[in-house]
A and B are shown apart, each in its own frame.
Chain A
Amino acid sequence: MVMALPFVMALAAALLAYAGRRMPALVLAALTAVVQVWWLLYHATSDLSIVL
């Protein structure tokens, strides 16, 4: 799991958006959100460091 990956993808999407490349920017931003949720599942299912 590469934590920097969604940042690099988001940077590419932002550059495409700035250049007015609408569809590639939309697709890449949507893929970034998918990777973000994937990474969130990875971190949200780790053991909780609390004792109840």
Chain B
Amino acid sequence: MQRVLDTLALLGLSGVLLVAFWYQFVEGELPCPLCALQRVGFIVAGVGLVLNLRAGYAPSHYGIALLGAVAGGSASLRQIALHVVPDTGTYGSALLGFHFYTWAFVGFGALVAYVGAMLLLFPARGDVRAPPSGAIARFACLLFLVLTAANAVAFLLQCGFGPCPDDPTGYIW
């Protein structure tokens, strides 16, 4: 059961990264620095889930997922705060009435709740248990790895070896 839930959560994180890529490459909306930091938060959280699926379950793996969720949530909250005052503009397009930084904050909140629920429902019995296997879990891990690598390449192309501009207009490479 734990493996199924972690696999679904990891697929959900990959879905978030895929939607971000869709808007970046199909809709032409380049990610801002705070958007990038929110993606990093989702990826760090995903590393904890990959550890669960590949190395066995441990509270420390959920701890890393929690760390990523809190760090990413901080970036999304900062971006919400930038635009919360009326007539201060927004960044990017909206989906179902909310901008992506708002959705990201909702996602990070859901991730924190998920980790709390998993630790309550499946308390640790000793240290790391035997790693589970399964084709869908492996697919979820590989998809997440590919999307993480694609993000690293995309931000190298967009920002090079420096900071990203606050309002990006194109790729430097």
Q: Which residues of A contact B (CB under 8 A)?
A: 1-4, 6-8, 10-11, 13-15, 17-22, 25-26, 29-30, 32-33, 36-37, 39-40, 42-44, 46, 48-50, 52
In whole Å, how far is A11's beta carbon from the nearest beta carbon of chain B? 5
Is the beta-carbon distance between A20 and B54 smaller than 8 angstroms?
A: yes
With A15-B145, A42-B163 known as contacts, the answer to whether A3 contacts B67 (CB < 8 A) is no
Closest to A43 in B: B33
* 28 A-B contacts (beta carbon < 8 Å): A1-B163, A2-B162, A4-B152, A4-B155, A6-B40, A7-B36, A7-B40, A7-B152, A10-B40, A11-B151, A11-B152, A14-B145, A17-B55, A18-B142, A21-B55, A22-B128, A25-B55, A26-B60, A29-B68, A30-B64, A33-B68, A33-B71, A36-B37, A36-B72, A37-B74, A40-B34, A50-B88, A52-B85
With A22-B128, A26-B60, A48-B82 known as contacts, the answer to whether A7 contacts B51 (CB < 8 A) is no
In whole Å, how far is A30's beta carbon from the nearest beta carbon of chain B? 7
Chain A interface helix/strand/loop/mixed: helix
What count of chain B residues pass the 8 Å CB interface test?
A: 51
Is the beta-carbon distance between B148 and A33 smaller than 8 angstroms?
A: no
With A2-B162, A15-B145 known as contacts, the answer to whether A7 contacts B55 (CB < 8 A) is no
Q: Add 13 more A-B contacts to A6-B40, A40-B34 (CB < 8 A).
A: A1-B163, A2-B162, A7-B156, A11-B145, A14-B43, A14-B47, A25-B51, A29-B68, A30-B64, A36-B44, A37-B74, A40-B78, A43-B78
